[in-house]
Amino acid sequence: MPVNSTHYLFLSLLLFSIGIMGALIRRNAIIIFMCIELMLNAVNLLLVAFSKIFGDADAQLFVFFIMVVAAAEVAVGLAVIVMMYRKVQSVDINILNRLKH
């Protein structure tokens, strides 16, 4: 079966769905974090695929931006998770509910 552009779109959809489901279902902060990264990269893949389909390189510009933002986000997010672990010896998000009313 030859691989064409449509397959990339489906792959991207699959990855994004896995990301969402992971973010919704899992309680481990690091897993959720990874799921978010997965969603970002699914979008990246989508952009590249469309770029290829329409023969327009503009979309790839966004990809670079997203990569940069993701990198920065990883730096901050991981730091937050590390700090959280130090405080409560856990990365379970359900422990962090003290800010509720």
- Which 51-80 positions form the footprint of other proteins (CB under 8 A)? none
Nearest distance in Å: CB 26, other proteins: 9
Q: Name the phi and psi angles at 41, rounded to 5.
A: -75, -30
Q: What is the C-alpha separation between 43 and 46, in angstroms, rounded?
A: 5
- If one asks whether residue 98 binds other proteins (CB under 8 A), the answer comes out as yes
CA distance 43 to 89: 33
Please give the residues from 6 up to 25 whose contact with other proteins meets the rule CB under 8 A.
Answer: 20, 23-25
Which helix (H) or strand (E) segment holds residue 61: the answer is helix 58-88
Candidates 3, 71, 89, 94; binder of other proteins (CB under 8 A) is 94
Looking at the Cβ atoms of 89 and 94, the one nearer to other proteins is: 94
Cβ neighbours around 49 below 10 Å, total: 19
Binding site for other proteins (CB under 8 A): 20, 23-25, 27, 32, 93-94, 96-101
